[in-house]
Chains A and B, each alone.
Chain A
Amino acid sequence: MLDLRLYMLQRLSALVMAPLVLGHLAVMIYAIQGGLSTAEILGRTQGSVLWFAFYGLFVFAVSLHAAIGLRVIIHEWLGLKGPVLSVLTWGACAGLLVLGLRAVFAVTVP
């Protein structure tokens, strides 16, 4: 149920995610170690184009990657295919995108 286009989209999104995951983990450890409060974290992220781009790109990559992975599982485990499978795939992608971007906007837009 994966053609070359979806396969490449999933691999390339993984390629984008790999350094972003490491960056995200590093940020979390730094924030905890330093004992930053919520206000201090928001003070650094709000208005920052860099953090908006970092987590915005992360959300795009995760939404594509996870939706294509779910597509394979849904097809192989539930036997769904055709338009139903496409709607579920891109519906999951849109859902993740909306949830993720809401969070990105919340912490980066003042």
Chain B
Amino acid sequence: MTAAQETLDVTVHRGTTRGACYDSFQVPAHESQTVLDVVSWIQQFADPTLSYRFACRVGMCGSCAMMVNGTPRWTCRTHVKKVAADGKLMIEPLRNLPVIKDLAADMDPFFDKWTAAQGQHHPSQTRHDPIEPIDPGDPLRVEADLGVECINCAICYAACDTVAGNPDYLGPAALQRAWTLLNDSRDDGRGAILDAVSGTGGCHNCHSMGSCTQYCPNELNPMRAIAGLKRETAKSFFKGKRNA
């Protein structure tokens, strides 16, 4: 985008999974403008029927994730000048998910897989037990801590080519959550987790292409977590548990 350029050429996905088209808008260009600012301008000043999702606007909730010029991004934390040097933007809903309308992706399959991977906490104690001391320097705790900052924005899920080719695949976020719980001494679901990630849609489908790790806005490493799950399930296989 040059200094003299006063408008952005913005192409926006409209419609649902069943029928979609693209609309073009001319949006005033500003200094320090985010992609979410652009989408909001269109909704407020050009077409109030445009549907999209956002909440915190500061990169904490992850709800504004969309495809920007083919790349999954948090739109609230993406400056236009960094992704659209020529002043052209293509904005679409997150890949690999059904579309509710326009830019709002249906997150149900993403969270269903999170549950299918046993992403929920499996308590090892009750509220009547004394509080268990946790050593932050313990190697297992350090490994668990690597994944706890995931906010479930589904950027990694949209970036994953394995999900694109294999819709049953649980995906990077759900598997990273499973790995986090597997290393959490307070979680008592080891058997259930290893079973859950060993099925036909499990961690063994990952081709280690690394898009999840490359695009994660929180700089997490789901590929490392999936490699860890592969190691643990392989160990359980050799111990005679054919289904982990």
Contact = CB atoms under 8 A, between A and B. Distances in A.
B242 interface: yes
A75 B162 CA distance: 11
A7 B206 CA distance: 11
Most buried by B among A3, A6, A8, A76: A3
A2 B165 CA distance: 13
B204 A76 contact: no
Contacts of A22: none
Given A1-B200, A1-B205, A2-B205, A8 B166 contact: no
B165 A4 contact: no
A3 B234 CA distance: 11
B205 A4 contact: no
A3 B166 contact: no
Nearest to B165: A76
A76 B162 contact: yes
Interface in B164-208: 165-166, 168, 198-200, 202, 204-205
B243 interface: yes
Nearest to B195: A4
Contacts of A81: 168
B198 A3 contact: yes
Contacts of B233: 4
A7 B226 CA distance: 14
B243 A4 contact: yes
A2 B201 CA distance: 7
Nearest to B207: A72
Nearest to A81: B168
A11 B230 CA distance: 11
Interface string A12-53: 000000000000000000000000000000000000000000
Given A8-B234, A8-B237, A3 B165 contact: no
Nearest to A11: B234
Interface string A67-110: 00000100111000100000000000000000000000000000
A76 B166 CA distance: 5
Shortest 4 CB-CB contacts between residues of A and residues of B: A76-B165, A7-B204, A4-B198, A2-B204
Interface of A: 1-8, 11, 72, 75-77, 81
